[in-house]
């Protein structure tokens, strides 16, 4: 973890790390910039309460089959303890469809924008699970109002240790960034 922090500092990047147990919060807080709650822990209420006492921003991934209402309620567990820096993250929900790994639900992005003042980012890599769909779904995510995107990039996706199927190469990531910039302008935002 020290190494992760060191590399991030060297390259001017931020560190987002997933917390999977209340007992690990103190350690992870000491080096990460944002603490992530994974989809499988979205309703781990004890951990959410503990994160509400942290000074670091919390990125709260939507549960695999969480309703929008349950997701907002999960955020309340954090907010209620005094930590107001909650960032939602839409990462796809579980449906009967098998072509994509999950069903990337952009209406949830629009709904969160309507129902809450908190920021929301979208994760088309996990949301679709298919490299070919990451760019095509990044553009609508921004058009739907997402405040950010999580996109997995790997110089050689075919040998990636995890999630290679949904990773872009640095080149395709660069191209995507350009087209996103035009969309962002079209909806009155800037990248």
Q: If binding means CB under 8 A, how many residues of this protein chain bind a copy of itself?
A: 55
Distance CA 168, CA 175 (A): 10
Tell whether residue 46 is a contact of a copy of itself (CB under 8 A): yes
Shortest Å distance, C-beta 183 to a copy of itself = 5
Tell whether residue 106 is a contact of a copy of itself (CB under 8 A): yes
Shortest Å distance, C-beta 9 to a copy of itself = 28
Distance CA 29, CA 181 (A): 32
Listing from the earlier edge strand, what are the strands of the sheet with 34-37? 16-19, 34-37, 58-61, 86-90, 120-122, 148-149
Work out the angle between the directed axes of helices 131-143 and 106-115 (0-180°, nearest 10). Answer: 30
Partners of 16 in the β-ladder: 34
Of 157, 144, 98, 104, the C-alpha closest to 128 is: 104
Tell whether residue 30 is a contact of a copy of itself (CB under 8 A): no
Binding mask 1-20 for a copy of itself (x = CB under 8 A): -------------------x
Among 7, 13, 26, 69, which residue sits at the site for a copy of itself (rule: CB under 8 A)? 69
Q: What residues make contact with a copy of itself under the rule CB under 8 A?
A: 20-24, 40-41, 43-47, 63-65, 67-69, 93-100, 103-108, 110-111, 113-114, 127-128, 132-133, 136-137, 139-145, 179, 182-183, 185-187
């Amino acid at each position: 973890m020290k190494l992760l922090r060191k590399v991030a500092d060297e390259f001017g990047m931020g560190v987002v790390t997933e917390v999977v147990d209340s007992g690990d919060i103190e350690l992870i807080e000491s080096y990460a910039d944002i603490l992530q709650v994974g989809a499988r822990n979205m309703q781990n209420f004890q951990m959410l309460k503990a994160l509400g006492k942290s000074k670091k921003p919390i990125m709260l991934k939507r549960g695999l089959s969480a309703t929008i209402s349950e997701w907002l309620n999960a955020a309340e567990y954090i907010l209620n303890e005094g930590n107001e820096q909650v960032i939602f993250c839409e990462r796809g929900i579980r449906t009967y469809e098998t072509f994509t790994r999950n069903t990337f639900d952009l209406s949830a992005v629009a709904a969160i924008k309507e129902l809450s003042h908190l920021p929301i980012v979208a994760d088309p890599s996990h949301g679709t699970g298919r490299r070919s769909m990451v760019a095509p779904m990044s553009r609508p995510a921004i058009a739907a109002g997402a405040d950010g995107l999580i996109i997995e990039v790997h110089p050689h996706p075919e040998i990636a240790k995890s999630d290679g199927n949904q990773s872009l190469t640095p080149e395709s990531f660069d191209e995507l960034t350009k087209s996103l910039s035009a969309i962002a302008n079209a909806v009155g935002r800037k990248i």
